[in-house]
Amino acid sequence: MKRLSDYGSCPAAVAGASFAGTECVAVFSLEEATNALQAQHFDLILLDIAVAGCDPIGIIHIFRALQPRIPVLVFTRLDENVYALPFIRLGDSGFLARNAPTEEITHALTLALSHRRVYLGEFLIKCAAWLASGE
């Protein structure tokens, strides 16, 4: 299994998670990311949407054009309350704060790698419950 990060740090390592047999490939530019995606298959993209001077929605479209079924987990310092819903609507696999506890990072990575579930933080769970209630 491989993961792609566009910001140079791998949350799996931060989490000390049990992701044996995985590789975190850190990239530092859109060009490096697209070259990596063209060269090999990845199981997950970890994306920091706070990268200066970039259009994160455009970047996600570029990534999906190269590997259409790849899950994207947004891992950022930006506020979930403001930024999470637009990215979940794009079909991302979750939105995770960089200062999240280790257990939360591990859980989000596990869900995103399963390709079956979306990781929702506390704010998104509350939004989903509110929408489901029809209020």
Q: What residue segments make up the domains of the chain, in order of their start?
A: 2-133
Q: Taking residues 85-104, report their average pLDDT.
A: 78
Q: What are the pLDDT digits (tens) for 52-62?
A: 677 888 888 89
Residue in this structure with the two tokens 């706070």, named with its chain if needed: 50
The dihedral through the CA atoms of 25, 41, 56, 20 has a sign that is negative
- The whole-angstrom separation of Cα 71 and Cα 116 is 10
Q: What are the pLDDT digits (tens) for 61-70?
A: 898 899 998 8
- CATH number for the segment(s) 2-133: 3.40.50.2300
In the chain the first and final C-alpha atoms are separated, in Å, by 42
- The whole-angstrom separation of Cα 63 and Cα 47 is 10
pLDDT of residue 49 exceeding 60: yes
Average pLDDT, the chain: 75
